[in-house]
Amino acid sequence: MHSATSSTPTARWELYRLLGEPLRLRLLALTAEDELSVGELADLVGEAQPNVSKHVAALRRAGLLAMRKQGNRVLVKVADAGGDAVVRDALAAGRGLVTDDGSLARVPEIVRARDAASRAFFDASEAELEPDSLPPELPAYLAALAPLLPHRELAIDVGTGDGRLLDVLAPVFGHVIALDRSARQLARAKKRVLARGYTNVELLEGELDDDAIQRRVKKLATADGEGADVVFASRMLHHAAKPTRTLAQLGALARPGGSLVVIDYVAHEDEALRDSQADVWLGFDPVELRHMAREAGLTRAEVRPLPALLHRGARTADAHIAWQVLVAKRP
């Protein structure tokens, strides 16, 4: 604010001349109360917007006002409310003027009016998400949540299928390996990855015990170079010929101290799923699942049910089956 801080007589004279206009004093006082647009200032002081813009520009050139653009709007606020005695006097005088004419008291009302259109829009909106549908912006919500979670450099989705779980993992983890033994399923997952624009997902075809898979995991692993932070297996264990051995192989993909998350069915009696879904096992008893995890060399195994309402809206052949989640650690 050169004009306000310079000690030359000319500079002081220019500052006095600039602040000798009552409208400018009022503008200073109002913008010291809140950041306001030029249009809002024009409304408050009862002047035409071009005239207000002219006075605002003069105050800005003197360094007394700061301006910023947001789209077509220009927002204005006081740049320095206490750096110069003359400016302090001008603000005090201006505050007296806007108090007397009532414009200062209207500032909160003007600010509240900014969201009037938004309120009306949402009050009138008829768009409604079906109760059994997930919000399309869920990946964005997960990405916002991600910084709160520790150890999220690498995740592996085993038996990725068409990649549905990638919509949860890709926004959260730095890198995701999507593994499946079916080329056809991976082709479907690839379509999802391309449609979502996930650049941190790598699709791999193979079996859990393939050497190439093990080498790739170690290459992408975190600092200790031994595995993933979390290994996920959603509804694939009941397709495994030897579930305990599969749990051991899944755990081996995790780093020491890393986690294994297995989502699968609670034991049921729907034999039809053997034919319609090629299920090998009709789910697992929770006690049995914990025992299998211990047999697989995993520690701190916990099994808990998943609320039916979270998956029964999927309209899939297994939606009527109760689900559970096993969380365990690689020692």
Count of structural domains within the chain:
2
Q: Which structural domain range is residue 100 located in?
A: 2-114
Which of 187, 188, 149, 181 is closest to 168 using CA atoms?
A: 149
Q: Long-range contact list for 182-185, CB < 8 A, 24+ apart?
A: 185/160, 185/161
User: Would the pLDDT of 9 be above 60?
Assistant: no
Contact 234, 310 (CB under 8 A): no
Predicted confidence band of residue 300 (pLDDT cuts 50, 70, 90): very high
- Can you give the pLDDT at residue 218? 78
pLDDT, tens digit (0-9, with 9 covering 90-100), for 95-136: 999 999 999 999 999 998 888 877 787 777 666 656 556 678
168 and 85 fall within a common domain: no
227 and 80 fall within a common domain: no
250 and 292 fall within a common domain: yes
pTM: 0.72
Task: Give the domain CATH number at 255.
Answer: 3.40.50.150
> DSSP string covering 122-183, please?
HHH------TTS--TTHHHHHHHHGGGSSS-SEEEEET-TTTTTHHHHTTTSSEEEEEES-H
Tell me the residue type at 271.
E
Burial class (CB in 10 A: 0-12, 13-18, 19+), 270: middle
Predicted confidence band of residue 6 (pLDDT cuts 50, 70, 90): very low
